[in-house]
């Protein structure tokens, strides 16, 4: 449902102004509302008002009671989501997804026109902190 709202907002925000320099936007979000903690980082490169590269990293930290199941969980994720890099980290699992032109995990296609400031605004509406 969020992707629909993001797409609608992006359509409203698109402009025709351009910039030829490459910019990098890094956004983070934290979810510590349950015993399983999630720390997300989204790195996006923008050039000529187009997304050129996206990397989404999520560190999921599990409580002690889950520690003996981490390898099984990682193997299951690898099998069901082969496009993700799955790495065991201290007390958890790191998932890394690199976006490609045919798919988008944040609802923004690589060929879609969007400025740095528009993208930053959209992501901050989703509770990311961007710089």
Give this prediction's pTM.
0.77
CA 40 to CA 114: how far, in whole Å?
22
The two tokens of residue 23 are 């910019």
Q: What tens digit of pLDDT does each residue of 53-104 get?
A: 889 999 999 999 999 999 999 999 999 999 899 999 999 999 999 876 566 6
Give 39's strand partners: 30, 59
pLDDT tens-digit profile of 33-43?
899 999 999 99
Distance CA 42, CA 99 (A): 11
């Amino acid at each position: 449902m969020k992707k629909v709202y993001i797409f609608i907002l992006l359509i409203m925000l698109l402009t025709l102004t351009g910039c030829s320099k490459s910019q990098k936007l890094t956004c983070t979000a934290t979810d510590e509302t349950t015993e399983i903690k999630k720390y997300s980082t989204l790195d996006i490169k923008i050039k000529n008002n187009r997304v050129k590269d996206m990397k989404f990293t999520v560190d999921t930290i599990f409580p002690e009671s889950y520690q003996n199941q981490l390898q099984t969980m990682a193997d299951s994720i690898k099998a069901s989501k082969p496009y993700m890099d799955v790495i065991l980290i201290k007390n958890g699992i790191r998932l890394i997804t690199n976006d490609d032109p045919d798919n988008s995990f944040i609802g923004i296609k690589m060929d879609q026109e969007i400025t740095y400031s528009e993208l930053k605004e959209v992501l901050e509406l989703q509770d990311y902190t961007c710089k």
